[in-house]
Chains A and B, each alone.
Chain A
Amino acid sequence: MSTRTRTRQRAFGALAVVIALIWMFPVYWMLNSSFLPYNRIRAAEPSFLPLNGTLSAYGRVFDSNFFDTLRISAMVTGITVVAALLFAFLAALALSRFRFKGRRSFILAVLIIQMIPAEGLFISQFKLLEGWQLLNSVIGLSLLYIAAVVPFTIWMLRGFVNGVPRDLEEAALVDGCSRLQAFFRITFPLLAPGLVASGVYAFLQAWNEFTLSLVIMTRPENMTLPLWLRSFTEANRVSDWAGIMAGSVLVAVPVMIFFLLVQHRMTSGLVSGAVKG
């Protein structure tokens, strides 16, 4: 690499860090507020640093049933992510590798489903789950979430499957692999960035969803995290803002862990894989 490109890369790197900091500012403000006593969260002179702050907000939210709620949310989100990726992956494979009757209508239908305004649909979805006795059940809620994220995931992954040069697979076929083998050995690793991007999307949709969870999970022992968080808005007649911010920090931590676990998959995509393949 020439020095010129290296300096340029440095300059862009610095720009990226600046943008990241700007984008993070509201997040920082959440963290900051979670350490502040109430009269400093909203004051004529803003406190930019939590100096002389307090951890009491964390104490308040931790003794609530955070871990039970976390468990429910983790189950719902886990099922949603795994099932949505798996189903969408299979569908994307079928759509981009095989020609069959009804293929176009399926693609169009999936697209249109994205456009349906969701407000009000929860009434009918509640009736549906009631009929199947799946109210207040992790499976019932997951089912609705999977259906909500699968259309996008199909589209996203289809783009990626299309993007994998077919020559690569065919080369593998020549080498004596079966079609399935060729697929899993060559195509699958190349899809990793798409799977990660879709996975993060599905994860966040399920993790932060509020309305469906509100009407489906009505029993306290089945609360998901967004419902749990919402309970601090009326905890003491006025909203416990420090508690809400502390709770939000706790809710965001598992998302970060999930992302850090999968993020390296995002960069080691085709570029390296294709050359080796």
Chain B
Amino acid sequence: MLLLPALAILVAALGYPLYRQAVMSFQEYGLAQQFGQPAEWVGLDNYVTLVTDSYLWTVILRSIVFCFANAAITMVIGVALAVLMTVIGRGPRLILQIGLLLAWAMPHLASLTVWQWLFDSQYGVINWLLVNLGFDRFAGHSWLIDQLSFFVVATVIVVWMSVPFVAFAVYAGLTQVPGELYEAAEIDGASAWARFRAVTVPLVKPVLLIVMLLQIIWDLKVFTQIFVLQDAGGITAQTNLIGTYIYRLGLGEGEFGLAAAASWFVLLLTVVLSLYYVRVLVREEEL
């Protein structure tokens, strides 16, 4: 069967780890167990610990807001750039694609470092620029110490990193739209926006849906960017999102049982949040 290779590799590489993850979430499983001591069955204790933690709910709410804001901004910019690629000449298109790809391909260590430098309070290019434009109050201004400002910076970085993927995927989808359809619509006198909605969107809908869904999933799990920014500045307790919080909850110190429970918990949350998209996707399947 054609499905077999994909299925086999998924089961092989993820099946056992996921099973183990599920078992661990009901166990007192820490470093000692990792080194061979028997794990104690604790039932739902790990889950109870999580759910009764009031700070966790603050973090979840914060993560959801952050996730939807970022996913929406990323999608709007990404789709706009993809459409832009279809209406411009070969040269500018290649330049735009290379620009986006460079941003995407830049090793994370380098990109996160550069962004930190740009927003640095004393040696940052952004403050330097603002001060030279006459905004003296930005001399030594910290972009991270204020919660809202911290998340604005985080959003800039996350969007900058995710737009290339969206733009490429959607552009690839757009190239599938037969040109004749546009011409037909143009002859019918449809405006550009109407053409976009009536012709383009339905045809690239499968790609749009999956890309949107992935953005929601990824932005809910965002970890590295927040983790690195917290190290650079800001107040950790005010800026934790689900990813960094789970990590700080004990993964770094080997509380694997608790972390496993948190993973399943987040999975459930993701499913709930994306239920709408999943239903649309499955309904598409019936066609």
Shortest CB-to-CB span from B287 to chain A, Å, is 9
Question: With a CB–CB cut-off of 8 A, which chain B residues contact A251?
Answer: 107
Bound-state Cα–Cα, A150 to B271, Å: 20
Are A16 and B115 CB-contacts (below 8 A) given A91-B6, A200-B101, A270-B175? Answer: no
- Mark B158-200 against chain A: 1 for CB-CB distance below 8 A, else 0: 0010011100110111011111000000000000000000000
- Cβ-defined contact, A125 with B178, below 8 A: no
- Cβ-defined contact, B92 with A13, below 8 A: yes
B273, closest chain A residue (CB): A115
Asked if A186 lies at the interface with its beta carbon under 8 angstroms from chain B, I say no
Bound-state Cα–Cα, A269 to B89, Å: 16
Which of A23, A30, A42 has the largest count of B CB atoms less than 10 A from its CB? Answer: A23
- Cβ-defined contact, A152 with B214, below 8 A: yes
Interface residues of A in 180-226 (CB under 8 A from B): 190, 193-194, 196-197, 200-201, 204, 207-208, 210, 225-226
Interface residues of A in 1-51 (CB under 8 A from B): 8-9, 12-17, 19-21, 23-24, 26-27, 29-30, 33, 41-46
B266, closest chain A residue (CB): A117
Asked if B1 lies at the interface with its beta carbon under 8 angstroms from chain A, I say yes
Asked if B58 lies at the interface with its beta carbon under 8 angstroms from chain A, I say no
Shortest CB-to-CB span from B248 to chain A, Å, is 11
> Size range of the interface on A?
35 or more
- Cβ-defined contact, B96 with A17, below 8 A: yes
In the complex, the 9 A-B pairs of residues with the closest C-beta atoms, listed nearest first? A20-B99, A147-B13, A248-B110, A124-B17, A159-B206, A13-B92, A94-B2, A193-B172, A255-B105
Task: List chain B positions with a Cβ less than 8 A from chain A.
Answer: 1-3, 5-7, 9-10, 12-14, 16-18, 20-21, 24, 34, 81, 84-85, 87-111, 113-115, 117-118, 120, 122-123, 125, 128, 160, 163-165, 168-169, 171-173, 175-179, 203-204, 206-207, 210, 213-214, 217, 221, 223, 242-243, 246-247, 251, 256, 259-260, 262-263, 266-267, 270-271, 274, 278, 281-282, 285
A-B contacts besides A226-B108, A259-B98, 20 pairs, CB < 8 Å: A16-B85, A19-B81, A87-B9, A90-B3, A117-B243, A120-B259, A120-B260, A124-B18, A151-B10, A160-B172, A160-B207, A193-B171, A229-B109, A252-B106, A252-B107, A256-B98, A259-B97, A270-B176, A270-B177, A274-B178
